[in-house]
Chains A and B, each alone.
Chain A
Amino acid sequence: MNLNLTLAARYLAGRKLRTFLTTLAIVFGVVILFGMNIILPSMMQALEANMKAAAGVVDFSVTSVSGEAFDPAVMARLDGIQEITAIAPAFVRTFNLGADFFDNDPATADRITAIQLVGMDPDAVQTLRAFPIASGRFLQTSDSDAAVISQSLADALRLTVGDTLTLPTVNGLTDLTIVGLLPPRTLPGNEEVFVTLGAAQAMGGQPGRITTIDLNVALDAGDQEGRDAVAAEIQSSLGSSYVIGALTSGADVFAALQMGQAILSMFGIMALFMGGFVIHNTFRTVLMERQHDIGMLRAVGASRRTILNLFITEGLVQGVLGTLVGLALGYLFGVGILKFAEGPISTFVNIRLDTPVVEPGIVLLSIFMGIGVTVVAGVLPAVRASRISPLDALRPTSAQADFERERGRGFWVGALLVALSLVMLFIGQDAMIAAGGFVFLIGLVFLAPAIVRPITDMFSVLLGRLYAREGTGEVARGNMLRQPARVAATASATMIGLAVIVAVGAVLTSMTGTMTNLLRKNLGSDYLMVPPSIGLWASNVGASEGLAEELAAIQGVGPVATTRFAGSASEGVAISLLGIDPAIYPQVSGMAFQEGDESAYDDLAAGRSMIVNGAFLLATGAELGDTLELATPDGVQSYRIAAVAADMLNPKVTTAFISQANMAADFGRAEDVLIQLNLEEGAEAESVDSQIRALMHDYPQFNTIAGRAYVEQMLELLNVAFSALYFLLAFLAVPSLIAMLNTLAISVIERTREIGMLRAVGATRRQVRRMVTAEALLLAGIGTGMGLLSGLYLGYSWVVAMEAFFPLEYSFPIAGLIAGLSTGLIFGALAGLIPARQAAKMDVVAALRYE
């Protein structure tokens, strides 16, 4: 075997515990990074499959950029293109069905939670694709309430030809008669219900509009060049308001999922970063420990490069090992979560998760990060190792002297950074504060070695009392002071771990507080009629204006505010447009304004203005007062940003509120997807309630709830989501546990001979154990102290940074502090356990022989 590999393998094998702990840190980072990135792409792929299936088997599908319905007259623009052999309009909508819509039985899981309504011209469409009817007949142009469905949907609903299929539509429930059955559906995605174009338009509340133009061309499937040319011709005939190919509806879901993926990747990278810290720490110790070995190697003729390679090889071995194990465990982790989450997710977003998706890119990224972090963390110590002169083999103290010099420099760098971060805090500009948190943290890492002594002195008074009779506290203190570099490195790792806990605690506390307020304000109306998918408005079936009018007519019902939806896009960014009545909306609901104020409602009423949320600004890069071009089914329209505000339902979706009048004029949508209403004062609560519920009975796509109950329900959901985040946090704390365990284990190994001597001169096993435990507690104390301090700053800076796209008010994280403190101390004691036992178990003779 190659000398480098031999040496690396032997050194690693010689320190099994340390190698295990170091590698574990990398495993951990890779598990999170890789595992998390399996989960979301799997969901995305399922969604994509859904959409592809929806596009059917035609050559090209034309939709509007906004995903909205448009005028069929557009088809005329394609008349001149000769390659087109067949063309047909269609009206396609995905209808989310309320829970238990078909089986009316909450106990059994719903098999069908959404269907795709496909309205088409029966004559035209049959020139486009074949419909192999299994029984009954196909649609005819004269049909008005006829439907054709697949055998599999019919089986699921226990229906057959001649039976009635009832669907919720904008006009209440609509009955369809099944006239024909197609073979069972084999493609993934939602079951389709085929009806005539007119029927579909009526059910979707958009008479005379279509959503899709399907067409076939006279070209071979293999003729990609010809196809591209035709696609380009179609595109230029239609203009930029239309896209060819896959449907864009669902783009908002993509946006939300991508955001989630970015956040989760951040967690993974952070864990890897901590892993890198652990490795760096280990290598530093290794450097000191092997000083003589390296000097000797240099003396007998090893070049600097050989020493460098030796260290890098050792890092690589651990990096590769850790990454491989991490990939395997990460895969299992991802699959496990998917299995576990399948149920809850499918009620939320309408997709089915089949197999986990592993994108080659993410595998590469994980490998690159896992191995890269190890190597990068090892490079600095490796370079320092290569600088060790052969003379150092004979001089035991030089590394320590080096360190003293470095500490002097580090102290000033650290002090400067901390001072800078405090200045940044007091300047009070958002961007400054946001960056300041990190500057503070890094400053503390530099300062750590210099403040080890004062903090150690402080804590050792306490420990001294605890262990007063044995003198072990004193020995522990002496050990810490002898190796301030190592102590500082461990303390820093602990500090970062705890700082993140406290900081995220601060963000969570602030979020819960703010969200609770916003929830009460935004959704605190007396009654709420909500669709199954909140935020994913495009997949919901709403109601025509008639419903809101009828509700308002009920005796005792006060103002009724409705929200409408239209899809749009601006410069390629998908935008979710919500239409409100600027006069009524503020009476029943509300938003939290970040820039501008309530007067923006008047702007909405006065002209083409919009109130956008933080995600909108982030995605488009626009600012308050800018005017943006929004894609409509008939070209583009300019809208000015009148205010920036957040509402409860769309925090992550790029959303803009416009007036319902403008929405009807520009986007042709007048369908209410969310209804909120208040009761008049002194209204007969019970009778009003029963009247409202009776009216809503015909609109099962809505869930009718009393507002306050809904707020409670949402808060509960929020709590669940936050618990999940806390769980992730605990994950992040694990690397700092590993770091502490690692350093303590190292310190015990390093002092093997000394411990042997202590035992030889009469220290009991118990005393040795206590000595190591005391050291662990001291170490934890230092890290915890620094961690809590920097966590407070970091948390504040994060809240300030997040305010940019979500309204947040800083709340002091008492819970986070307690969590951080107890985590630090419990971990400290835990981390001391294994090394303490090892030290106590040590064989005296073997220890004295140890070199």
Chain B
Amino acid sequence: MNTVETRELTKIYGSGDTAVTALDSISIHAAEGEFVAVMGPSGCGKSTLLHLLGGLDHPTRGKVIISGQDVAEMTDDALTELRRRQMGFVFQFFNLLPVLSAVENAALPIMLDGVKPDEAKAKATEWLTRFGLADRLVNRPDQLSGGQQQRVAVARALVSEPKLVLADEPTGNLDTRSGDEIAALLREVSQKYGRTVVMVSHDPRIAAYADRIIFLKDGKVIDETVLEQKNGKNAEMVAERMTKLAH
């Protein structure tokens, strides 16, 4: 079953002369446990797509269906609960609350869901330990490196055991080595923990960690490719494809 799918999803910003069609009738899907990357040049609508998938924004036309439910038919409260229990987000910036420690930040979604603080923190600690942050639990975000902050964000995205993890340029702010670490981590999330991951990136090296890549241009899906992860040359292949598509 598909964790998430869209049907002729269209998003138009503004109206009249200034209208911008950010997404133009897009139908895509991501299966359970699949790691999908979305690529494309700047302004092609990647972030817009991700926001719609997460129910953060409303489509102009078309549908977003998550676990069989049409997002458009849900109230704000139901959507909030859906996000809390079935989705995890990783953004490029502003991922963590500056006043909370790493473990508190990671525990946030389940604390909001009413889980007892001790229990929530224990669970968050588990995930942080898995991601190699066992010795940084009580540090505040400003005492962590960029890569460490993103790892806390990934831990937070997983703490509620969601079906779907959405990541928008999670490595955009990081150096190559940290970027690779986060991408590998997301791959682990889908392979080892069976979550569906949709990640936006414009970096071929990062996108190459995915099972499948969807290429967008001017709001339309222009290509799709399934990657064989045993092949070490994926990154070059993706980069080549990108340059070709750009013309």
- On A, residues with C-beta under 8 Å from B are 1, 3, 6-7, 10-11, 14, 292-293, 295-304, 306, 389-391, 393-394, 849-851
CA distance A6 to B117 in the complex (A): 11
B30–chain A nearest beta-carbon distance, Å: 19
Given A306-B112, A390-B56, A394-B94, verify A301-B80 contact (CB < 8 Å): yes
Query: Are the CB atoms of A7 and B80 closer together than 8 Å?
Result: no
A661–chain B nearest beta-carbon distance, Å: 81
Query: Are the CB atoms of A298 and B80 closer together than 8 Å?
Result: yes
Asked if B156 is at the interface (CB within 8 A of a chain A CB), the reply is yes
Q: Output the nearest chain A residue to B57 by Cβ-Cβ distance.
A: A391
Q: Output the nearest chain B residue to A298 by Cβ-Cβ distance.
A: B80
CA distance A300 to B109 in the complex (A): 6
List A contacts of B117 (CB < 8 A). Answer: 1, 3
Q: Output the nearest chain B residue to A846 by Cβ-Cβ distance.
A: B142
Pairs of residues from A and B, 5 with the lowest C-beta to C-beta distance, nearest first: A301-B84, A10-B99, A292-B94, A390-B56, A301-B83
A756–chain B nearest beta-carbon distance, Å: 13
Contact of B77 among A297, A303, A851 (CB under 8 A): A303
Query: Are the CB atoms of A391 and B97 closer together than 8 Å?
Result: no
Query: Are the CB atoms of B112 and A302 closer together than 8 Å?
Result: yes
B188–chain A nearest beta-carbon distance, Å: 21
Query: Are the CB atoms of B47 and A7 closer together than 8 Å?
Result: no
Contact of A296 among B80, B95, B99, B142 (CB under 8 A): B95
Query: Are the CB atoms of A296 and B98 closer together than 8 Å?
Result: no
Query: Are the CB atoms of B142 and A851 closer together than 8 Å?
Result: yes
A-B contacts besides A300-B88, A301-B113, 20 pairs, CB < 8 Å: A1-B117, A6-B104, A14-B99, A292-B93, A296-B91, A296-B97, A297-B112, A299-B56, A299-B91, A301-B84, A301-B85, A303-B76, A303-B80, A303-B81, A306-B112, A389-B56, A389-B57, A393-B94, A394-B51, A394-B94
List A contacts of B95 (CB < 8 A). Answer: 296
CA distance A5 to B84 in the complex (A): 20
Contact of B94 among A11, A296, A306 (CB under 8 A): A296
List B contacts of A851 (CB < 8 A). Answer: 98, 141-142
Contact of A300 among B47, B51, B93, B156 (CB under 8 A): B156
Asked if B239 is at the interface (CB within 8 A of a chain A CB), the reply is no
List A contacts of B36 (CB < 8 A). Answer: none
List A contacts of B141 (CB < 8 A). Answer: 851
List B contacts of A3 (CB < 8 A). Answer: 111-112, 117
Q: Output the nearest chain B residue to A299 by Cβ-Cβ distance.
A: B89
Asked if B12 is at the interface (CB within 8 A of a chain A CB), the reply is no
Asked if B54 is at the interface (CB within 8 A of a chain A CB), the reply is yes
Query: Are the CB atoms of B97 and A293 closer together than 8 Å?
Result: yes
B34–chain A nearest beta-carbon distance, Å: 22
- On B, residues with C-beta under 8 Å from A are 47, 51, 54, 56-57, 76-77, 80-81, 83-85, 88-89, 91, 93-100, 104, 108-109, 111-113, 117, 141-142, 156, 160, 168
Query: Are the CB atoms of A293 and B80 closer together than 8 Å?
Result: no
CA distance A299 to B57 in the complex (A): 11
List B contacts of A301 (CB < 8 A). Answer: 80-81, 83-85, 109, 112-113, 160
A363–chain B nearest beta-carbon distance, Å: 34
A394–chain B nearest beta-carbon distance, Å: 7
Q: Output the nearest chain B residue to A389 by Cβ-Cβ distance.
A: B56
A301–chain B nearest beta-carbon distance, Å: 3
CA distance A160 to B77 in the complex (A): 88
Q: Output the nearest chain B residue to A15 by Cβ-Cβ distance.
A: B99
List B contacts of A298 (CB < 8 A). Answer: 80
Query: Are the CB atoms of A304 and B91 closer together than 8 Å?
Result: no
Interface centre among B96, B104, B112 (most CB of A within 10 A): B112
A299–chain B nearest beta-carbon distance, Å: 5
List A contacts of B113 (CB < 8 A). Answer: 301
B147–chain A nearest beta-carbon distance, Å: 15
Given A393-B91, A394-B91, verify A297-B97 contact (CB < 8 Å): yes
A297–chain B nearest beta-carbon distance, Å: 7
List B contacts of A389 (CB < 8 A). Answer: 56-57
Query: Are the CB atoms of B89 and A14 closer together than 8 Å?
Result: no
Query: Are the CB atoms of B142 and A850 closer together than 8 Å?
Result: yes
CA distance A295 to B80 in the complex (A): 12
Query: Are the CB atoms of A300 and B98 closer together than 8 Å?
Result: no
CA distance A64 to B112 in the complex (A): 69
List B contacts of A293 (CB < 8 A). Answer: 94, 97-98
B133–chain A nearest beta-carbon distance, Å: 18
List A contacts of B80 (CB < 8 A). Answer: 298, 301-304
B233–chain A nearest beta-carbon distance, Å: 34
List A contacts of B112 (CB < 8 A). Answer: 3, 297, 300-303, 306
CA distance A138 to B117 in the complex (A): 81
CA distance A389 to B56 in the complex (A): 8
Contact of A299 among B83, B93, B100 (CB under 8 A): B83
> 8 A-B residue contacts at CB 8 Å?
A6-B104, A11-B99, A296-B94, A296-B96, A299-B89, A301-B85, A394-B93, A851-B142
Given A7-B100, A11-B99, A389-B56, verify A300-B108 contact (CB < 8 Å): yes
Q: Output the nearest chain A residue to B94 by Cβ-Cβ distance.
A: A292
List A contacts of B104 (CB < 8 A). Answer: 6
Interface centre among B47, B51, B99 (most CB of A within 10 A): B99
List B contacts of A304 (CB < 8 A). Answer: 76-77, 80
CA distance A301 to B99 in the complex (A): 18
CA distance A298 to B98 in the complex (A): 16
List B contacts of A299 (CB < 8 A). Answer: 54, 56, 83, 89, 91
CA distance A91 to B108 in the complex (A): 79
Q: Output the nearest chain A residue to B97 by Cβ-Cβ distance.
A: A293
List B contacts of A11 (CB < 8 A). Answer: 99
List B contacts of A393 (CB < 8 A). Answer: 91, 94
Query: Are the CB atoms of B99 and A7 closer together than 8 Å?
Result: yes
B107–chain A nearest beta-carbon distance, Å: 9
List B contacts of A292 (CB < 8 A). Answer: 93-94
List A contacts of B96 (CB < 8 A). Answer: 296
CA distance A260 to B142 in the complex (A): 55
Interface centre among A11, A295, A299, A389 (most CB of B within 10 A): A299
CA distance A695 to B79 in the complex (A): 95
CA distance A451 to B67 in the complex (A): 53
CA distance A446 to B230 in the complex (A): 66
A390–chain B nearest beta-carbon distance, Å: 5
Interface centre among A300, A302, A304, A393 (most CB of B within 10 A): A300
Q: Output the nearest chain B residue to A3 by Cβ-Cβ distance.
A: B111
CA distance A298 to B51 in the complex (A): 13
Q: Output the nearest chain A residue to B92 by Cβ-Cβ distance.
A: A394
Q: Output the nearest chain A residue to B56 by Cβ-Cβ distance.
A: A390
B68–chain A nearest beta-carbon distance, Å: 20
B16–chain A nearest beta-carbon distance, Å: 18
Query: Are the CB atoms of B51 and A391 closer together than 8 Å?
Result: yes
Q: Output the nearest chain A residue to B111 by Cβ-Cβ distance.
A: A3
Interface centre among B47, B97, B108, B113 (most CB of A within 10 A): B97
List B contacts of A850 (CB < 8 A). Answer: 142
Query: Are the CB atoms of B142 and A849 closer together than 8 Å?
Result: yes
List A contacts of B94 (CB < 8 A). Answer: 292-293, 295-296, 393-394
List A contacts of B91 (CB < 8 A). Answer: 296, 299, 393-394
List A contacts of B168 (CB < 8 A). Answer: 394
CA distance A618 to B83 in the complex (A): 63
CA distance A775 to B153 in the complex (A): 38
List B contacts of A300 (CB < 8 A). Answer: 83-84, 88-89, 108-109, 112, 156
List B contacts of A7 (CB < 8 A). Answer: 97, 99-100
List B contacts of A390 (CB < 8 A). Answer: 54, 56, 83
Query: Are the CB atoms of A10 and B100 closer together than 8 Å?
Result: yes
A127–chain B nearest beta-carbon distance, Å: 76
A493–chain B nearest beta-carbon distance, Å: 27
List A contacts of B89 (CB < 8 A). Answer: 299-300
CA distance A299 to B167 in the complex (A): 12
CA distance A129 to B104 in the complex (A): 76
Q: Output the nearest chain A residue to B98 by Cβ-Cβ distance.
A: A851
CA distance A302 to B56 in the complex (A): 13
Interface centre among A10, A292, A293, A296 (most CB of B within 10 A): A296
B154–chain A nearest beta-carbon distance, Å: 12
